[in-house]
Amino acid sequence: MNYFKWFFISTEWRIAIRKRNNSGLYADSFVTIPNTKKYWFADPLLFEDGEKTYLFVEAFNRKTYKGDIGFFKVEKGLVSDFELLIDNNFHMSYPLVFKHEDKYYMIPESEENSTVDLYVADNFPRGWKRDKTLLSGIHYADTTLFEIDGRKFLFTYSPENGKWKLLIYELDMANKEVSLFQTIEYDVNICRPAGKFYTDEKSRCLRPVQDCRKGYGKGVLLYEVKFDGQVFSESLVEEYDNAKLVIDGKPGVDYFHTYTRTSEYEVVDYVHEKVDLLKEIKWQIRKYKRHQRAKNTENQ
């Protein structure tokens, strides 16, 4: 084990954006959206609404050591100032936004709260309120919506007893309920969602996936997803290499685990490792604060 890296090499996530091209992920450079003194940003998920584009993100609060949810507006390749949207008493991330019957919904990750929650906006892109808890008592991560043939499905991830599970739920928006549709097990950690589904130039339906074979954030895979009306299947079509990702004109990042695109933009998150002599102290503070949040929740 590299003890120096374990105790003194720190990671702080950042997000980067570029105008979309069809020449591959490595063709052009992404441009970093700066972190702030209060937050660093991760899990960028684009949402296109007509001619408007929004970038929803996890905003990790440096003081409270937990993720909140916020957004940027994207216009002509530029982003607005960051706006905070949801600040709960538990860690949140991966803000998956979608539209259904003229209403706007979000399913952010709330694994720390052991729930999968549906939020609704009364003043989009602001005004988010929890509408209903779809699942509880579980630790599912990075739930991602997939729509096909007029049906809605939620792909979510759960590690359990040395196995890695992709659980697929059918979402009934009329009653705001879910039912387990299919479970796919993997012998290696290569099924956790890494961004929204999209259709590429070859008309393939693709699902970005975190490649955790060498550790968390060590790359992104693309799976082609097929559905015959009864069963989902997926197959690997591409592997994205951290060393080839170009950020701010320079190739190579240490970590990378989210990729999302729309008709006009592409975004990723990434990390360059750095020496931080206070890393272990900060990690212990983060664990303590998480423990206190869990304790407070139990006492409510």
DSSP assignment of 195-263 equals S--EE-TTS-EEEEEE--TTSTTB-EEEEEEEE-SS-EEEEEEEEE-GGG-EETTEE--SBB--EEE-S
Residues linked to residue 56 through DSSP beta bridges, in sequence order: 45, 71
Is 300 a residue whose pLDDT tops 60? no
Is 92 a residue whose pLDDT tops 90? yes
Segments forming the whole domain that contains residue 258? 3-299
Is 99 a residue whose pLDDT tops 80? yes
Buried b (16+ CB within 10 A) or exposed e, 28-40: eebeebebeeebb
Q: Helix, strand, or coil here: 296?
A: helix
**pLDDT digits over 191-248, tens only?**
999 999 999 999 999 999 999 988 888 899 999 999 999 999 999 999 999 999 999 9
Domain harbouring 239, CATH code: 2.115.10
pLDDT reported for residue 246: 96
Place of tokens 């999302």: 260
Position 23 confidence tier, pLDDT thresholds 50, 70, 90: confident
Mean pLDDT of the chain: 91
**pLDDT digits over 154-177, tens only?**
999 988 766 899 999 999 999 999
Position 115 confidence tier, pLDDT thresholds 50, 70, 90: very high
Is 11 a residue whose pLDDT tops 90? no
Decide: 198 and 175 in contact? Cβ < 8 Å.
no
What is the total count of domains within the chain? 1
| Between 7 and 79, residue with greater pLDDT | 79
Is 297 a residue whose pLDDT tops 90? no
Which helix (DSSP H) or strand (DSSP E) does residue 293 occupy?
A: helix 279-299
Place of tokens 């939020």: 119
Decide: 235 and 218 in contact? Cβ < 8 Å.
no
